[in-house]
Structure 1
Amino acid sequence: MSTIKDVAALAGVSFTTVSHVLNNTRPVSAEARARVLAAVDEIGYLPSAVARSLRRSETKIVGVLVPNVRNPFFAELVVGVEEWCRQAGFSVFLCNSDNDPKHQQSYLRTLLEKRIDGLLLSSAGDTEALATTFRHASVPVVTVDRLVPGARADRVSVNNQLGAFEVVRHLLELGHRRIGCVSGPAEFEVTTERVTGWRNALQQRGIAPRPEWLAESDFSTAGGYEAVKALLRRQPELTAVFTCNDLMGMGALRAAAELGLTVPRQLSVVGFDAIELGSYVYPALTSVGCSIRELGREAGRALIERIENPQAPFKDLQLVPHVVLRESTAAPLSPEQ
C-alpha cells in the first residue's frame, strides 16, 4: 500500500507539502500542487481517514442504529437519512440491533469508539441502559420516533396518537363499531401512543374499548398473523382490526384468509406507517402515516444541524400523518354490526 512518502518522492516534494495539498492547510504553488495530484493518481494513494479525523477531530461519519433492517419502514427511513447526510458531505455507518437491547448496547459502544460525529438512533428498548449510555456520550444524538427519558437529544417522530385516532375514525365513519387492535410490545412508547389513539377514537363515538379487543404482538408480519388469528377466534364479532404497524397488517390479511373471511367485505383491516410495500399486497392495505423517506431526511437534517451547532436548543419535531386509503376497508355487511 502506497504512503504519503511515496507520493512525495514521485512528485519531488516534501511529504509535508503533500499533506498541505491534500488537506488544504497551507497555500502551495500551482506547479507543486499539480505534481502532487498527478502522483496521487498514478500510484493510487488514499489518505488515511482515521489519521485525518484525529487531526481535525471529525470523521464526517454518522452512525445510524435501527432495530430491524428487515422492516421496510426502517429501510425507507435509512434511505432518507442517507440522502440528507450525503448532501451534507457525511457518510452513514448503519447498524442493525435485530430488536435485541444487548446488541443495541454493543453497537452503541462500537459506534462511539469509532469516533463518529453524530448518532441517529431508533431504539430497540431498554431505555434505562440507553439513558446511561447517552449521559456519557460526547457526540450529538437524534432519536427517531422513540423517546429516551433523560437523553440530551433531538427527536424526530410521527404523531402516533393522532395517526391511530384518524385511521380508526375512518373505520367508524364506514359504520364499524367493534374494532379490534393489535399493538406492538407494551414497553415501547410508540405502542402506548397508538393504542391510546385507538381508544380515544372509540370513546369519542361513545364506544367502550373492551380489553378483550386488544392483543399484543411484536411489530412483525408473523406476529401480526398469529395475534389477529387468535383475536378473531376469540372475538368473532369484530368487523375491523387496527394493527399498530403495516407488517402486522399484512399478517392480518393472511390470518383473515385462513379463517375464511373476505377482506374488506367481511373484515376491514388497517395498519400504521403507510410503507410502500402496503400498496402491493392484495388487497392493498389502508394505512396511516407520513412519507417515511421524508421522516428520514428530517432526522438526517436534525443530526447535521446538531453537529454544526451543538449549543442550539433541543428540538422535538413531530410530523403529521394522514390516512392512505387503499383496498382493505369497506362498510360492514350490516349497519347493526
Structure 2
Amino acid sequence: MATIKDVARRANVSVSTVSRVLSGKAFVDDATKTRVMEAIQALNYQPNPLARALRERKTNIIALMVPGIENQIWPLVARGVENVARKNNYTVLLCNTDDDVETEKRYLVRLRRQWVDGIIVAPARDDSPHLRELHDSGFPVAQVIRGFENDGMDNVMIDNFRVAYDAASYLIKTGHRRIAIASGRQDLHIYRRRLEGYKQALADHGLEADPMLVLQEIKELNNLYRLTQQRLRSGVQIDGLLATSDPKAIIVMRAIRDIGLRIPQDVSVISIDNIEQSNYFEPQLTTMSIPFIQIGELAAKKLIFHIHDPEHFEAVTDYLDTELIIRKSTR
C-alpha cells in the first residue's frame, strides 16, 4: 500500500507539499499540483483520514445522544441532524443512553477521547453537571428537546408550557370541563412545564385543577394504562384527556376503549408530538405537532457554527413553533 512518502518521492516534492495539495488549504502552483495528483493516481494512494484528523484535531464527526431510538421522535431529530451534517461534510455518530445518567457520562468521556468535533444531546436528567462542565470547557455541545430554557447552554426546543396550555385550552373551548392529563416523569423539566401549562389553562378558564385528573406516569407506560382504567372505574368523571406525548396517547386510548367508553363521544383525547402514526390511529389523533426534524436541523447548524467559529458563538435557547392538528379523537 502506497504511503504519502511514496507519493512525494514519485512527484519529486516534499511530504509537506503533498499534504498541502491534499488539504487544499494552502497555495501550490499548478505544475506541482499536477505532478502530485498524477503520482497519487499512479500509486492508487488513499489518504489516511484518521492520521489527518489527529494532525488537525478535527474528525468531521459529531455525536447525537438520545434516550432511545425506539421512541419515534428521536429518529426524526436524527434525520434533521443528518440533513445538515451531510451538507457540511460531517458524519453523525448515534448513541442511545437509555435515559441512564451513568451511560450518558461514559459516552461523553469516550466521545471526547475519540475526537468527535461536537455533541448534540437530549439529557437523561435535568441536573447534568457533567454536561455543564463539558460546555464550560469550551467543547461544542448543544441540547435538544430537553434541558432548561436559557440556562447558559445551547438548546433547541419548544415552549413546553405553551404547548400544553394550548392543547388544554382547545378542549375547554370545545366544551370539555373535566379534563385529565396523562403527565410525564416529573424529574424532567419538559413534563413539569407541560403539567404547569395544563393547570394554568384550567385556571384561566375558571376550572378546578382536580388532583384525581392528573394521571402520573410511574416508571413504565403500562402503569399509565392501569391508572387510567382505575380512575375511570372509580367514578372520576372525565370528558377530555390531554396526553403529554403520543406514546401516552396510545396507552390511554386503549385503556378508555377497553372499559367500553368511546373516543371521542365519551372522552376526547388530544396529544403532543404528531408522530407519523398518529394519523393512522383509530380514531385519528388530534395533536400538537412538534417540528422534530427542524429541531434536529437547527441544533446541527448551531453546533457546526460553534465548531467553526467558537469566538463568535453565543449559547442561546431557540424555540420552534408547534401547530394544532385537529383530527377525529376530539369532538
Shift of 1:290: 3.0
| Counterpart for residue 155 of structure 1 | 155
Q: Which residue of 2 aligns with 1:216?
A: 216
Deviation at 1:148, TM superposition (A): 5.4
Q: Which runs of 5+ in 2 are unaligned?
A: none
Deviation at 1:2, TM superposition (A): 4.7
Structure-2 separation of matches of 1:246 and 1:320: 18
Q: Deviations over 1:230-270 (max 9, x none)?
A: 44334541112111111111222222222222211122111
Deviation at 1:142, TM superposition (A): 1.2
Q: Does 1:75 align with 2:75?
A: yes
- The residue number in structure 2 matching 1:334 is none
Q: Which runs of 5+ in 1 are unaligned?
A: 331-337
The 1:220/1:282 distance shift into structure 2, 3 A limit, reads: farther
User: Match of 1:333?
Assistant: none
Within 2, Cα distance between the matches of 1:13 and 1:116?
Answer: 33
Q: Is the 8 A contact 1:4 1:18 kept in 2?
A: yes
C-alpha displacement at 1:165, in angstroms? 0.7
Q: Deviations over 1:81-138 (max 9, x none)?
A: 1112222232211111112222111111111222222211111116244355436644
- Aligned equivalents of 1:111, 1:235: Cα separation in 2: 52
CA deviations 1:187-209 (Å, max 9, x no partner) are 10001110011101111111111
In structure 1, distance between residues paired with 2:227 and 2:6: 64
2:199 corresponding residue in structure 1: 199
Secondary structure of residue in 1 paired with 2:269: strand
C-alpha deviations, 1:143-195, integer Å up to 9, x for none?
A: 11322599652111101111101111111112111111111111100011100
TM-score between both structures, scaled by the size of structure 2: 0.89
Counterparts in 2 of 1:280 and 1:73: CA distance versus 1, 3 Å: same
Report deviation, 1:287: 1.0
- Residue 38 to residue 247, structure 1, CA distance change in 2 (3 Å): farther
Structure 2 partner of 1:318: 319
Give the Cα separation in 1 of the matches to 2:203 and 2:42. 72
Equivalence for 2:237: 237
Equivalent residues of 1:184, 1:219 under 8 A apart:
no
Question: How far, CA to CA, are the matches of 2:83 and 2:227 in structure 1?
Answer: 36
**Which residue number corresponds to residue 170 of structure 2?**
170
Residue 59 to residue 131, structure 1, CA distance change in 2 (3 Å): closer
Distance of 2:93 and 2:81 partners within structure 1: 11
Change (3 A) 1:163 1:152: closer
* Larger displacement relative to structure 2 (93-102 or 81-90): 81-90
Distance 1:233 1:45, change over 3 A: farther
| Structure 2 counterpart of 1:323, one-letter code | L
In the TM superposition, 1:53-64 aligns within 5 A as 53-64=53-64
Q: Against the structure 1 CA distance between its residues 211 and 41, is the aligned structure 2 distance closer, same or farther, given a 3 Å change threshold?
A: farther
Alpha-carbon separation, structure 2, partners of 1:92 and 1:147: 21
RMSD: 2.6
Which amino acid in the other structure matches residue 252 of structure 1?
V
Q: How does 1:1-337 map to 2 (within 5 A)?
A: 2-8=2-8, 14-38=14-38, 40=40, 45-125=45-125, 127-131=127-131, 133-134=133-134, 137-147=137-147, 152-217=152-217, 222=222, 224-311=224-311, 312-330=313-331
Q: Distance in 2 between matches of 1:40 and 1:230?
A: 73
Q: Distance in 1 between matches of 2:126 and 2:44?
A: 46
Aligned length: 330
Assess if the C-alpha contact under 8 Å between 2:2 and 2:45 holds in 1: yes
Change (3 A) 1:182 1:235: farther
Q: CA deviation at 1:22?
A: 1.0
Structure 1 residue 36 displacement after superposition: 3.9
Contact map agreement 1:18 1:36 (CA 8 A) in 2 = yes
Equivalent position amino acid for 2:325 in 1 = V
Letter in 2 for 1:155: N
Measure the CA separation in 1 of the matches of 2:48 and 2:152: 32
Aligned 8 A contact 1:158 1:321 in 2: yes
Q: Give the secondary structure class of the aligned counterpart of 1:127.
A: coil
Alpha-carbon deviations, 1:40-84, whole Å to 9, x = none? Answer: 456654423332223223222211111111111111011111112
Contact 1:146 1:190 in 2 (8 A): yes
Q: Relative to 1, partners in 2 of residues 1:279 and 1:12: Cα closer, same or farther, differing over 3 Å?
A: farther
Contact 1:183 1:215 in 2 (8 A): yes
- Secondary structure (helix, strand or coil) at the match of 1:328 reads coil
- Aligned-residue sequence identity (percent) comes to 29
> SS of the residue aligned with 1:271?
strand
SS in structure 1 at match of 2:142? strand
Letter in 1 for 2:329: S
